[in-house]
Structure 1
Amino acid sequence: MMNFQIDDNHRLEGKVTHLECSKNTKKFQQLPSSIILHYTAGRDALSSAKYLCKENIKASAHLVIGRKGEVIQLVPFNTISWHAGKSSYKGRNGFNNFSIGIEIDNAGPLEPIGQSYSAWFGKKYPATAVVKATHRNEKVERYWHNYTEKQIDTVEKICELLLATYPSIKEILGHEEISPGRKQDPGPAFPLDNLRSRLTEERDSEEAFTAMKAEVSVPLLNIREMPSIQAEKVMEPLPEGTRLKILGERDGWLKVRTQVEGWVASDYVDIV
């Protein structure tokens, strides 16, 4: 179960590995206003994270997300990391200074070789791990390393938490959007447009629902981490009569807050 919180030192709590990236000490001079998503273009999450922490490497990030959904934090969320480089978007430049960088373990573009596909560093991948798609900044289809469902779910969960913790964050962008032509990540295999649409709609929905409350109307009601019957439960079932604050709605589910935040089926609560 993915259950994260951010502590007073701007570090992620939960099932998280913390590495010390001592080269990054400068604090944000203004609150972060963007989240930038990247792929690592590396062999695995841990080796990529350790590489980014090397003193002689002029790159870093706040988080690295592995293919099984594992999370590694390198830099606190109130500190500048070096993930964006030369960057510009809608009149703003130098995104390192006001954005949180999330690196996702992924090899990036692949080249077909026989029955497999090769990354730039020589590792081979089977066809089941490959997506053929056209990059948003290109016109020709290419082969790309896929992202796992656990990765995507973890990225969404963390972005949701960051948006809630830092209301100054107004947008989620890909490196490819702030450095077009120079960078291609996270690439077309990652559902960036869908993810930010869901999170934006959810935030707008939360603003609309802030005054609404509900009450559990069945003997026991499961509360889940995502709006899906397959999603993990975030705590024991809620007994009948439990009061809930409604935060949002999606496809027959309500995002609610009680002792924790989670999603419940809307058919089993009464608005009060």
Structure 2
Amino acid sequence: MTESAPLAAQRREVILDTVRRKGAVRVAALVEQLGVSDMTIRRDLDVLARAGSVEKVHGGAVSTSGTTCDEPGFETKSTLKSAAKAAVAEAAAQLVQPGSVVAISGGTTTFAVAHRLRDIANLTVVTNSLPVAELLRSFGAEDGSSAPTLLVTGGAPTKSASLVGPLADQAIRSLQVDLVIVGAHGVSERAGVTTPNLAEAETNRTLISAATRLAVVADHSKWGVVGLSRFADLSDIDYFVSDDGLAEQARTVLGDQVGRLILAETQGT
């Protein structure tokens, strides 16, 4: 009997998620965990290795990623997982209340959230993102509507067009905001929420400390990725907004540790 593709794909997703979380996995452990044969697991590892997702070693497989210090530019990141980001952004925008003070960090997913704030009345937005600042400034100019009150932190720009460093941190420390919406380079059970940029991590921590509530926005591909510097633990998060492509194991971990897990539907896109 030929195995169905969906079952094989689900099993490989579990394997890949396990490798990302633990850094390595043994064939024997996967056989016990998934209740399939040794040969089935080895075939799964062959498929994942050919895709560059894992590296096969004697008796199992190891992660090919490890801890990353690479920080893609804003334009590069904008092209990745666009449908998932749009779904995440739509769900995250529902957390923003009229008349509130909202902080928005740098990143392409937070930029997508900012796009959806146009019709929310009487907002004050604090941001260290140059693209978010430019977008919000354009709202009233485009259609005559009332643009949000905008506060830009200042600071030194990163490759991802975020303003970071002592100037940004000093400006943020004087503020109190209702909700901060923060993007992530990576999220994992072990490392929490991370970024490859040390200065950006510090500025994100400062944004979080100024806020009453923390929302992290991250599509499913961010799970298991670990950047150089952690800026939040999972238990710090009031709302974790992702999409319905998030692995079951990630859903379990996040459901247990964050205040509320929100999964946006991507409608198969």
User: TM-score, normalising length from structure 2?
Assistant: 0.26
Task: Name the structure where strand makes up a greater proportion of residues.
Answer: 1
User: TM-score, normalising length from structure 1?
Assistant: 0.26
